[in-house]
Amino acid sequence: MYSEKVMDHFMNPRNVGEMKDADGVGEVGNPTCGDLMKIYIKVENGIITNVMFQTFGCGAAIATSSMITELAKGKTIDEALKLTRDDVAEELDGLPPIKMHCSNLSADALRAAIEDYRKKNPGK
Amino acid sequence: MKRIYMDHSGTTPIDPRVLEAMMPFLTEKFANPSSIYTEGREVRASLDQARVQVAKALNADAGEITFTSGGTESDNLGIKGIALGRKEKGGHIITTTIEHHAVTHTVDYLGENGFDISFLPVNKYGQVELETLENEIRDDTFLLSLVYGNNEIGTIQDMRDIVKLAHKHDVLVHTDAVQAVAKIPIDVKDLGVDLLSLSGHKIYGPKGIGALYARKGLRLAAVQHGGGHEKNLRSGTENVAGVIGLGKAMEIGEIGLTTEIPRVKAMRDRLVKCILSELEDSYLNGHPEKRLPHNAHFRFSYIEGEALLLNLDMMGIVASTGSACSSKSLKASHVLLAIGLTPEQAHGSLRLTLGKGNTDEEIDTVLEAVPKVVKKLRAMSPLGHGGGK
Ligand SMILES: Cc1ncc(COP(=O)(O)O)c(C=O)c1O
pLDDT over 80 (residue B384): no
> Exposed, middle or buried: residue B81 (CB in 10 Å: 0-12, 13-18, 19+)?
buried
Indicate the class that CATH gives domain A4-119. alpha beta
Sorted by where each begins, the domain ranges of chain A are: 4-119
pLDDT over 80 (residue B1): no
Any B CB within 8 A of A8 CB: no
Model confidence over A44-71: pLDDT tens digits? Answer: 999 999 999 999 999 999 999 999 999 9
Nearest to A13 by CA among A42, A76, A55, A72: A55
pTM of the model: 0.94
Nearest to B317 by CA among B272, B353, B277, B279: B353
Confidence (pLDDT) at B388: 37
pLDDT over 50 (residue A109): yes
Nearest to A99 by CA among B326, B383, B350, B321: B326
**Helices within chain B (DSSP H only):** 16-26, 38-58, 71-85, 101-111, 130-136, 159-168, 188-191, 240-256, 260-278, 305-314, 334-338, 343-347, 360-380
pLDDT over 70 (residue B387): no
**CA of B71 relative to ligand 1 center, distance in Å:** 5
A56, A101, A102: which to substitute to probe chain B, counting the most B Cβ within 10 Å?
A: A56
B220 half-sphere exposure, CB direction, 13 A CA radius: 31
Confidence (pLDDT) at B385: 56
User: Which atom of ligand 1 is least distant from the CA of B70?
Assistant: 10
- Coil/strand/helix, residue B7: strand
Segment B133-153 mean pLDDT: 98
The H or E element that residue B91 is part of is strand B91-96
Any A CB within 8 A of B300 CB: no
> Of all protein residues, whose CA lies closest to atom 8 belonging to ligand 1?
B71
Helix, strand, coil percentages for chain A (3-state, nearest 5): 45, 25, 30
ipTM rounded to 2 decimals: 0.90
pLDDT over 50 (residue B231): yes
A58, A95, A98, A104: which to substitute to probe chain B, counting the most B Cβ within 10 Å?
A: A58
Angle, to 10 degrees, between the axis of helix A4-11 and the axis of helix A59-72? Answer: 90
Identify which of B310, B343, B381 has the shortest CB distance to residue A32: B343
Any A CB within 8 A of B304 CB: yes
Q: Do A98 and B326 touch (CB under 8 A)?
A: no
pLDDT over 70 (residue B389): no
Any A CB within 8 A of B45 CB: no
User: Which atom of ligand 1 is least distant from the CA of B207?
Assistant: 10
CA R_g for chain A: 13
Q: Do A56 and B381 touch (CB under 8 A)?
A: yes
In degrees and rounded to multiples of 5, residue A7 shows phi and psi of: -60, -40
Segment B72-91 mean pLDDT: 97
Q: Do A55 and B381 touch (CB under 8 A)?
A: yes
